[in-house]
Amino acid sequence: MKFSTLIFALTTAVSAPTVSAFGVTSSSSFAPKTTLQMSSDSLEHGSNPPTIITEDSDEAVPATPAFRYGSRSVSRDASSKLPLGIKLHGGEKLHSEGLTGKGVKVAVIDSGVAAGHPGFGDQVVKQTWLRRGGSLMQDDHGTHVAGTIHMMAPEAEIYDYRVFGPRGMDINEAINTSIDEAIEEGCDIINMSLGGPVPDWNMYRAIRKANRAGALVIVAAGNGGDDNILTNENSYPANFSQCVNIGAVAKKDNLPRAWFTNTNDKVDYCGIGVDVVSFRPDGTFQEMSGTSMATPHVCGFITALMTKGGAYSDIIKDDRSCRALLNDKFVIDVAAEGKDNATGLGFLTYLTKDEFEKDFLDLPDFE
């Protein structure tokens, strides 16, 4: 393995044969509108260039499908109010109570983050790229994911691990290396909006190591759903028991499950994953849909709860204690009553059910 500080161009991110990132096409037509302008160098690399880890033996572009299928650009000023998805998970209330993620380290294992996006400020503190090549404007998935985490927990430190791109080490190996690096860096929580149908047992061991180190691992359930809750669609690493498995719901009354979300008995919770507004690498904003988008809402929510010195920082010590807290205080049951295969135990939010219904949407009543 060779370490280099050279800057490589980035290209459209692609998935490994068994691992991809979970974004789906927005159904809305659009005309892109630019609201902010920055140089491509500052947007892609921030003030410091990423550390590039290369494998000279793996220079070929993997023959795999693109991991992200579409998005919709939206006109939005960086100083405008928080997107609805952030509000539905209680972002405003969290911030008003000082739960902003301060002192918490978040690993984003994805397609790379445009650290220079003005929305991030200086919160992307380190970038380690294990795959390279191309443009972050095409590999915009990671920036969108990290943007949602940042808007949920604006004072958390983001550690960017790039594992998608046309060149570099094997993608599964890149993911496993990133998990190990995140543990070494002392990351408290890891977001992985990626996965595939075949389990990688080296990845299982890396996640188990993170779990034992006390790091929380939040993973997208997958976009292989067929809109039939009676069928099972499985994805890894989400289905490993050490991961918090997140399905997707829409911003509508009763928070209906997204048609594309995987359904199986390993799904733990759900988050907003349809028409999610977050950062675009050129400094603007865009909508994307997928369990990829639901997962950072939940990751950011938990990150905010973990704020050092906050009300819950001494309670969340590991995966077990985190789940116990979430189940006791922050789950609203949606879809079928009780745990179900689409939304797990329910929707995670800092809002009470009364606050949710008063200001936003109706929720189901179970007798």
Active centre residues (catalytic) = 110, 141, 292
Contact 151, 87 (CB under 8 A): no
Query: What CA–CA distance (Å, rounded) separates 367 from 363?
Result: 13
**How big is the chain, counted in residues?**
367
Question: With left for phi above 0 and alpha for psi between -120 and 50, is residue 202 left, alpha or beta?
Answer: alpha
244-249, strands of its sheet edge to edge: 2-4, 51-54, 124-129, 157-162, 105-110, 189-192, 216-220, 244-249, 269-272, 347-348, 331-332
Q: Are 172 and 16 in contact (CB under 8 A)?
A: yes
Q: What tokens does 161 get?
A: 């691990």
Q: How far is 138 from 148, CA to CA, in rounded Å?
A: 18
Residue 81: partners with Cβ closer than 8 Å, 6 or more residues away? none
Query: Cα–Cα–Cα angle for 256, 222, 202, nearest 5°?
Result: 150
3-state secondary structure of 248: strand
Bridge-based pairing state of the strands 157-162 and 105-110: parallel
Side-chain-side CA neighbours of residue 115 (13 Å): 24
